[in-house]
């Protein structure tokens, strides 16, 4: 019998009302059951919201530096448990240990940044247009935050949302992805041990359709922060928007690396290997489009194929492996479906293009790193998010064509260019339509103290990370203090 894991509501671990369970399995070895998790529905969400609303009354009054100190302790506990957290994360979602350690480190960095932000939460004071009067503004907590997260960064993304939400004085309903409930449980355990009072964080396990929808539609949840697919994001936006909730959406990507004729090709090669095949291509910032200048196109592809032949694919718990499995069987089918689409569209399959099922790969959802050449910009494999180890290569004649091919896409999360030419660098910074641009680096590598997010259909204009996420999780109270002792009418008495 697999170990059973519960919801955390009102300071207690409790089973869901349904009495049902769902399994979490290791994607590198589907015979291994990680645990059985309680399957919640609207009733559990209702209860969680009720207690979060009550807990808000006190939590909002705790001085923000004290709230930050609790998050600092959570960061310290994550440091102590980093290896255990990373190993459990690799078991439940597959990416290699170096990457799961990085994922936990991102959570630690976010904790320490959030702790300090508890002493800042800056706002503006301005002069008044009237004498003997002051104008101030304050960042106020909003209320109960509904946080819905994906499985690909099961520690980093929840901490990006939970820590700033709490430091700003909100209480939280947290629904993690069904594929990564164990890491979410570890994170909540850490927050409890760090001293978070009952009701301030509430963990509700269960499916997106039942639990996610109940959170989005709940009238007593004031804001929604969602990271996941564009399809679900759109639906959430319309449902939550109908109730005038504040909504932050971080959605899909189709990120490109551009390599110009003057690039350091060895560096660009390392970049694309890490960007395209790290996390088995299952990152919102993964490099899934490669735009090559025609002068280096053939040489670079030869280098790329030689490097791919040296990648070890296997269980992420082995330090010898570079690429782990896909998250589940349905993702294998989606990825393979796109490979067939690419072949049907006339792209040339250079390597990969099939699931790996033999030997060490027999019991996991492994897929071979795949590269398509002779791709044209309007092909579906160059336009749609695949979320797997599939790289599509387009050849261009110059910088202007590279930018135009890059921008011909509904998504706009991350972008990258490799070049030595300073003029091209600044034109790329200005002209690439993306929330993030890397110069001489891959499309991945976010740091917790910088804003993170995309333009176009990647989101709705908010940013996670850095100072900007504190703006999302708080709202401005404007205050006028008149110490003149008389009625002063703005715009009337001063003109
Ligand atoms: P997903 O299927 O959209 O799921 C994301 C979360 O939403 C999960 O917790 C899911 O629950 C829940 N959910 C599903 N249907 C829902 C509904 N109708 N209402 C409310 N919640 C619902 O995405 P995913 O497969 O986990 O993650 C991959 C996607 O996330 C990719 O598109 C990737 O680009 C994107 N992503 C974006 C960023 C970014 O910052 N831009 C970062 C990481 C990932 P269940 O797990 O129970 O289905």
**Band of the pLDDT at 1, cuts 50, 70, 90?**
confident
- Ligand 1, atom nearest to 232 Cα: 3
Tokens of 428: 């790329």
For residue 464, the 8-state DSSP code is B
Name every residue whose Cβ is closer than 8 Å to that of residue 1 and which is 6 or more positions away in sequence. 36
Where are the extended beta strands (E) located within 358-413? 366-367, 370-373, 390-396, 411-412
- In the reported structure, the alpha carbon of residue 263 is separated from the centroid of ligand 1 by a whole-number distance in angstroms of 36
Q: What is the pLDDT of residue 184?
A: 99
Where are the extended beta strands (E) located within 176-297? 201-203, 223-227, 246-250, 255-259, 287-293
With a 6 A CB cut-off, is 48 part of the ligand 1 pocket?
no
Helix, coil or strand: residue 5: strand
In whole angstroms, give the CA distance from residue 430 to residue 379: 26
**pLDDT exceeds 80 at position 236:** yes
Q: What is the pLDDT of residue 300?
A: 98
With a 6 A CB cut-off, is 227 part of the ligand 1 pocket?
yes
Tokens of 436: 């993030």
Q: What is the DSSP string of 298-349?
A: HHHHHHHHHHHTT--BS-TTSTT-SB---SSHHHHHHHHHHHHHHHHHT-EE
Specify the residue for token string 């899909």. 252
- In the reported structure, the alpha carbon of residue 259 is separated from the centroid of ligand 1 by a whole-number distance in angstroms of 31
Q: Burial letters for 180-208: b for 16+ Cβ neighbours within 10 Å, e otherwise?
A: bbbbbbbbbebbbebebeebbbbbbbbeb
Q: Are 254 and 230 in contact (CB under 8 A)?
A: no
- Mean pLDDT (whole number) for 416-431: 98
With a 6 A CB cut-off, is 412 part of the ligand 1 pocket?
no
In whole angstroms, give the CA distance from residue 256 to residue 428: 12
Sheet holding 201-203, edge to edge: 12-14, 7-9, 201-203, 171-175, 144-148, 223-227, 246-250
**Band of the pLDDT at 387, cuts 50, 70, 90?**
very high
* Planar angle of CA 442, 445, 451, nearest 5 degrees: 120
158-204 pLDDT, tens digit per residue, is: 999 999 999 999 999 999 999 999 999 999 999 999 999 999 999 99
The answer to whether residue 284 is catalytic is yes
With a 6 A CB cut-off, is 204 part of the ligand 1 pocket?
no
Q: How many secondary structure helices (H) and strands (E) does the chain include?
A: 15, 24
Active-site residue (options: 106, 117, 168, 284): 284
Superfamily assignment of 4-251+459-478 in CATH?
Aldehyde Dehydrogenase; Chain A, domain 1 (3.40.605.10)
Looking at the chain, the whole-number percentage of residues with pLDDT higher than 90 is: 99
Q: Are 253 and 458 in contact (CB under 8 A)?
A: yes
In whole angstroms, give the CA distance from residue 442 to residue 273: 9
Q: What is the pLDDT of residue 248?
A: 98
390-406 pLDDT, tens digit per residue, is: 999 999 999 999 999 99
For residue 408, the 8-state DSSP code is S
Q: Are 146 and 243 in contact (CB under 8 A)?
A: no
In whole angstroms, give the CA distance from residue 106 to residue 78: 10
Q: In this structure, which residue's CA is closest to atom 9 in ligand 1?
A: 177
The answer to whether residue 250 is catalytic is yes
Q: In this structure, which residue's CA is closest to atom 23 in ligand 1?
A: 228
Q: What is the pLDDT of residue 320?
A: 97
In whole angstroms, give the CA distance from residue 285 to residue 235: 22
Helix, coil or strand: residue 410: coil
Across all residues in the chain, what is the average pLDDT? 98
- Beta-ladder partners of 415: 256, 437
Query: What is the pairing mode between strands 29-39 and 20-26?
Result: antiparallel
Tokens of 350: 């250079």
In whole angstroms, give the CA distance from residue 28 to residue 316: 8
In whole angstroms, give the CA distance from residue 132 to residue 129: 10
Tokens of 182: 């164990």
**pLDDT exceeds 80 at position 80:** yes
Q: Residue ranges of the domains in the chain?
A: 4-251+459-478, 255-439
Q: Are 85 and 186 in contact (CB under 8 A)?
A: yes
Q: Are 453 and 463 in contact (CB under 8 A)?
A: yes
- In the reported structure, the alpha carbon of residue 249 is separated from the centroid of ligand 1 by a whole-number distance in angstroms of 10
Name every residue whose Cβ is closer than 8 Å to that of residue 158 and which is 6 or more positions away in sequence. 107, 147, 149, 174, 176, 183, 184, 187
With a 6 A CB cut-off, is 154 part of the ligand 1 pocket?
no
pTM to 2 decimals?
A: 0.98
Q: What is the pLDDT of residue 437?
A: 98
30-72 pLDDT, tens digit per residue, is: 999 999 999 999 999 999 999 999 999 999 999 999 999 999 9
Q: What is the pLDDT of residue 141?
A: 98
95-122 pLDDT, tens digit per residue, is: 999 999 999 999 999 999 999 999 999 9
- Ligand 1, atom nearest to 252 Cα: 34
Q: What is the pLDDT of residue 148?
A: 98
Give the per-residue SS3 of 65-85. HHHHHHHHHHHHHHHHCHHHH
Q: What is the pLDDT of residue 475?
A: 97
- Let me know how long the chain is: 495
**pLDDT exceeds 80 at position 456:** yes
Q: Are 385 and 288 in contact (CB under 8 A)?
A: yes
Q: Is domain 255-439 given the CATH code 3.40.309.10 in the classification?
A: yes
**pLDDT exceeds 80 at position 227:** yes
Q: What is the pLDDT of residue 169?
A: 98
- Beta-ladder partners of 38: 21
With a 6 A CB cut-off, is 287 part of the ligand 1 pocket?
no
């Amino acid at each position: 019998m697999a170990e059973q894991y519960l919801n955390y509501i009102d300071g207690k671990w409790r089973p869901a009302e349904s009495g049902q369970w769902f399994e979490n399995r290791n994607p590198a070895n589907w015979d291994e059951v990680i645990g059985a998790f309680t399957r919640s529905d609207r009733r559990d969400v209702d209860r969680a919201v009720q207690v979060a609303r009550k807990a808000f009354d006190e939590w909002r009054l705790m001085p923000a530096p004290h709230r930050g100190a609790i998050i600092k302790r959570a960061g310290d506990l994550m440091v102590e448990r980093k290896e255990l957290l990373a190993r459990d994360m690799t078991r439940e979602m597959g990416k290699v240990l170096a990457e799961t350690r990085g994922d936990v480190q991102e959570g630690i960095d976010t904790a320490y940044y959030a702790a300090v932000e508890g002493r800042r939460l800056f706002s503006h004071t301005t002069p008044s247009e009237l004498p003997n009067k002051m104008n101030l503004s304050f960042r106020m907590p909003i209320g109960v935050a509904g946080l819905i997260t994906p499985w690909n960064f099961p520690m980093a993304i929840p901490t990006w949302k939970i820590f700033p939400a709490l430091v700003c004085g909100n209480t939280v309903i947290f629904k993690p992805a069904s594929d990564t409930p164990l890491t979410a449980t570890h994170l909540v355990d850490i927050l409890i041990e760090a001293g978070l009072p009952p009701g301030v964080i509430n963990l509700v396990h269960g499916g997106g359709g039942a639990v996610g929808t109940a959170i989005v539609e709940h009238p007593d949840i004031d804001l929604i922060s969602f990271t996941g697919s564009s399809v679900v994001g759109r639906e959430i936006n319309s449902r939550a928007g109908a109730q005038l909730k504040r909504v932050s959406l971080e959605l899909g990507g189709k990120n490109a690396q551009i390599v110009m004729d003057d690039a350091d090709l060895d560096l660009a090669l390392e970049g694309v290997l890490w960007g395209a095949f790290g996390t088995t291509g299952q990152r919102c910032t993964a490099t899934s489009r490669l735009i090559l200048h025609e002068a280096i196109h053939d040489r670079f592809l030869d280098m790329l194929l030689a490097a791919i032949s040296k990648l070890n694919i296997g269980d992420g718990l082995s330090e010898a492996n570079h690429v782990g499995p896909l998250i589940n069987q349905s993702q294998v089918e989606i990825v393979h479906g796109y490979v067939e689409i690419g072949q049907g569209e006339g792209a040339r399959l250079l390597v990969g293009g099939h699931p790996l099922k033999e030997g060490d790969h027999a019991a996991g959802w492994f897929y071979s790193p795949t590269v398509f050449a002779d791709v044209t910009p309007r092909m579906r494999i160059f336009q749609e998010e695949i979320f797997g180890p599939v790289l599509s290569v387009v050849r261009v004649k110059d910088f202007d064509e590279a930018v135009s091919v890059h921008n011909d896409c509904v998504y706009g999360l991350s972008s990258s260019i490799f070049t030595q030419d300073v003029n091209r660098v600044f034109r790329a910074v200005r002209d690439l339509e993306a929330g993030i641009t890397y110069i001489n680096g891959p499309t991945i590598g976010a740091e917790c103290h910088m804003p993170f997010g995309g333009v176009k259909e990647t989101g709705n204009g908010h940013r996670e990370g850095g100072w900007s996420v504190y703006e999302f999780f708080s709202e401005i109270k404007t205050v006028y203090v008149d110490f003149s002792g008389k009625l002063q009418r703005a715009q009337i008495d001063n003109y």
